[in-house]
Amino acid sequence: MTANNGVYYLHRLHYPNLPGKACQFRQHDLQLPAHHAFSTPNFPFFRLGPLDGSPCDTLGLNNVPVANFRMDTPDSSDLQTRYFYNLAHHEPATWRWDFGDGSPTSTDTSALHNYALPGKYRVCLTVTNQYGTDTYCREVYVGVVAAAEAPPATEILQLLPNPAGEVTTLYIADPSAVRSARLFITDAFGRIMLSQPLRGQLTELAVGGWAPGVYFVKVERGGGVPALAGKLVVAR
């Protein structure tokens, strides 16, 4: 969402389908590379698909659902809990989540799941309606960094794993380096892929939608303190 005229930020609604404060509306959540004025209107995308039986549906297409989801870590101090946010569209009627760890499946629209053990899991969402079924799967890395595996303090910024396929975790060894700090990630052309404040020493980053390549990571700190920098390789 656009901010007031004459700023460098955009607002973001993280979970638009959840009511009230659960939607996590955050002001100034995305920092832009340049000043903008009277630009970027709001374009909601409802992903409705064909309207079966409508006079406008001249192609006779069935509204087969399309499965998709986003995953987040709701608490940066708990790396074994994941929130899988439903992004399925074309009017799905039922949802089934397979978390890849042998636990019972869930029929919730969006699902919160705690993994008992760290590791790599394959999570699948299957959606169905009267016209068909679709399944979308992606790999989830759980517990990438544990207290017993923390990098030495001499390496103040690390990304684990690196190269990364779907998810990587940014680790800042020095707690004082996180205070009033902001994370920026840009691609090889200088375009900002991510801009957000740091809220702890561990920050999980979902990079599954990024093109393979090299990305530049920078943590800016206030008060004239030098920035931290590193590189992230996305490979599949």
Tell whether domain 147-234 is in CATH 2.60.40.3080: yes
The 3-state secondary structure of 28-84, one letter per residue: EEEEEEEEECCCCCCCCCCCCCCCCCCCCCCCCCCCCCECCEEEECCCCCCCCEEEE
**pLDDT reported for residue 159:** 87
Q: Binning pLDDT at 50, 70 and 90, where does residue 5 land? A: low
- Quote the radius of gyration of the chain (alpha carbons, Å): 20
CA dist 194 and 205 (Å) reads: 9
The residue to which tokens 């399309």 are assigned: 66
Q: Which residue has the higher pLDDT, 43 or 171?
A: 171
**pLDDT reported for residue 39:** 66
What's the mean per-residue pLDDT of the chain?
Answer: 81
- Report, as an integer, the average pLDDT of 147-155: 39
Q: Binning pLDDT at 50, 70 and 90, where does residue 143 land? A: low
Tell whether domain 69-142 is in CATH 3.30.450.40: no
**pLDDT reported for residue 187:** 87
pLDDT in tens, 177-215: 777 888 999 988 788 899 988 878 888 888 888 988 889
Q: In the chain, which residues fall in CATH 2.60.40.10?
A: 69-142
**pLDDT reported for residue 146:** 36
b (16+ CB within 10 A) / e for 182-196: ebbbbeeeeeebbbb
**pLDDT reported for residue 145:** 41
- Report, as an integer, the average pLDDT of 159-166: 86
pLDDT in tens, 92-111: 999 999 999 999 999 999 99
Q: Is the pLDDT of residue 2 over 70?
A: yes
Q: Binning pLDDT at 50, 70 and 90, where does residue 224 land? A: low
Helix, strand and coil percent figures for the chain, each rounded to 5 = 5, 45, 50
- How many whole angstroms from its chain centre is CA 236? 18
End-to-end CA distance of the chain: 32
pLDDT in tens, 51-81: 777 777 777 777 888 999 988 877 767 778 8
How many CB atoms are located within 10 Å of the residue 164 CB?
A: 23
Q: Binning pLDDT at 50, 70 and 90, where does residue 133 land? A: very high
**pLDDT reported for residue 162:** 86
CA dist 232 and 179 (Å) reads: 22
**pLDDT reported for residue 151:** 41
Share of the chain above pLDDT 90, in %: 22
